[in-house]
Amino acid sequence: MTILTDIDREHLRRALALAEGGRGRVSPNPLVGAVVVRDGEVIGEGFHAALGELHGERAALEDCRARGEDPRGATLYVTLEPCAHQGRQPPCVEAILAAGIGRVVIASDDPSEKAAGRGPGILRDGGVAIETAAGAEAAAARLLNQPFRKHSRTGLPHVVLKLAMSLDGQTTTAAGDSPWISGERSRELVHRWRGEHDAIAAGVGTVLADDPLLTAREPDARQPRRVVFDSRARLPLDSRLVGSLEQSPLTVVAGPEAPPARVAALREAGVEVFLGDSFDPGEQIGTALAMLGRRGVTSLFLEGGKTLAGAFAAAGQIDESRTFIAPMLLGPPDPQDRSPFVNQRLTSGERTPAVARLEALATTTETVGADTLLTARFKEW
Ligand SMILES: NC(=O)c1ccc[n+]([C@@H]2O[C@H](COP(=O)([O-])OP(=O)(O)OC[C@H]3O[C@@H](n4cnc5c(N)ncnc54)[C@H](OP(=O)(O)O)[C@@H]3O)[C@@H](O)[C@H]2O)c1
């Protein structure tokens, strides 16, 4: 391990901030930022801006050239170990060696099979001094790429649960009332988060109650795949989800009890139906996540409702939660519920998830409009 100077750490923090520029645009690739420094002066900066475009290191070296600067002998600060494999872009190590960079300071490792130390090894063999960060910058670099890291290590998407609740812990409003619990600023944030994930999931209970679109409404946002957990394939053909397939693809996760005619009708309408073979909610979630991971979904934004969120928690499949607490009381839950179908099987006890306690590793709180947002991290990859 290397002890970096305060100046090294400052450049790494700048590289971390630059990496954010690609959020929502580079998946399944990682976010990467890079800074080139020669004789104490920044001569180039860059980040991986979109899938298929230059990696952060090459973008920073290009920036040197655009500024008329020669990176020979300079130090390259980068948030992730440089790649050594040919993907959508040629290997970054080639560009670093060709540019004559003298020293590379790396904030975090790349745990994917193709990488895992190969790039730094090649650079070292090529005479480049390699230093790796520890402490706050290394932790920030790992947190930056949780979806990439989890997907690389497990093949599963990183799962972020979003919930909005009242001060008395309700997540559902009464029939006829507005479905919104969180305020406008919070809902804007939710739309931004949707665009930052590869897929959005909801339970069929929420779909039957609210008929949501589950699209990202921010201009230029990448539209995530929408996923409905719906073991009996009850998703109505005239729902807004089915009616908006031209905006983004829709996957229904159904189970062995789904009537074949319903499955066929959904497929006919253009919906992808994934048929799992288990009746167990936790197993259904596990196989659905593995299926999504195989399709390159590295991040899943779980928008509820409470039944599906509970099943994910019981299955230990939540990596992070973002809970809005709205300054209102909603009274006891509506005994009629917003949909008569939603908890049909919960009452029979069949789907009641096992009680699970998942303790957070770290939490933060902030004010969003009139709401309080509590973010909790349960796992680190
Ligand atoms: N406050 C919030 O943040 C928030 C967010 C979303 C929704 N909501 C509200 O929540 C209400 C609906 O919530 P809900 O809890 O009744 O429904 P839900 O969680 O959206 O959906 C539950 C249904 O999903 C299906 N499902 C399929 N696979 C499952 C699995 N592996 N594990 C668990 N369930 C699975 C089950 O029906 P099948 O057996 O038929 O498959 C289950 O009854 C709505 O009123 C909505 O407005 C609030």
Average pLDDT (362-368) is 98
23 lines ligand 1 (CB under 6 A): no
* Token duo for residue 182: 């969180």
Task: Using DSSP, state whether 31 is helix, strand or coil.
Answer: coil
230 lines ligand 1 (CB under 6 A): yes
Residues 179-216 have pLDDT tens digits of: 899 999 999 999 999 999 999 999 999 999 999 999 98
**At residue 341, does pLDDT exceed 70?**
no
* Token duo for residue 41: 């002066």
308 lines ligand 1 (CB under 6 A): yes
Q: What is the pLDDT of residue 347?
A: 41
How remote is the CA of residue 129 from the centroid of ligand 1, in Å? 53
The minimum-distance atom of ligand 1 relative to the CA of 210 is 47
Give the residue, by CA position, lying nearest to ligand 1 atom 17: 205
Task: Using pLDDT thresholds of 50, 70 and 90, give the confidence band for residue 54.
Answer: very high
Distance CA(150)–CA(247), nearest Å, equals: 28
The minimum-distance atom of ligand 1 relative to the CA of 345 is 39
Q: Which residues are bridge partners to 171 per DSSP?
A: none
Q: What is the pLDDT of residue 318?
A: 97
Residues 206-246 have pLDDT tens digits of: 999 999 999 988 888 889 999 999 999 999 999 999 999 99
By annotation, the residues acting in catalysis are: 57
Q: What percent of the chain has pLDDT over 90?
A: 82
Q: What is the pLDDT of residue 335?
A: 52
When comparing pLDDT for 154 and 90, which is higher? 154
pTM comes to: 0.91
DSSP-derived secondary structure letter, 182: S
How remote is the CA of residue 185 from the centroid of ligand 1, in Å? 24
Residues 256-314 have pLDDT tens digits of: 999 999 999 999 999 999 999 999 999 999 999 999 999 999 999 999 899 999 999 99
Strands 320-326 and 299-302: unpaired
Task: Using DSSP, state whether 161 is helix, strand or coil.
Answer: strand
Residues 147-163 have pLDDT tens digits of: 999 999 999 999 999 99
How remote is the CA of residue 303 from the centroid of ligand 1, in Å? 9
Cα–Cα distance list, 203 to 168, 235, 308 (Å): 23, 10, 6
The minimum-distance atom of ligand 1 relative to the CA of 337 is 45
Q: What is the pLDDT of residue 1?
A: 59
210 lines ligand 1 (CB under 6 A): yes
Residue 22 exposure: Cα atoms within 13 Å on the Cβ side? 28
H, E, C per residue of 149-161: HHHHHHCCCEEEE
**At residue 38, does pLDDT exceed 70?**
yes
How remote is the CA of residue 210 from the centroid of ligand 1, in Å? 11
Task: Using pLDDT thresholds of 50, 70 and 90, give the confidence band for residue 23.
Answer: very high
Q: What is the pLDDT of residue 147?
A: 97
**At residue 344, does pLDDT exceed 60?**
no
**Kindly report the CA angle at 300 between 237 and 251, in degrees rounded to 5?**
25
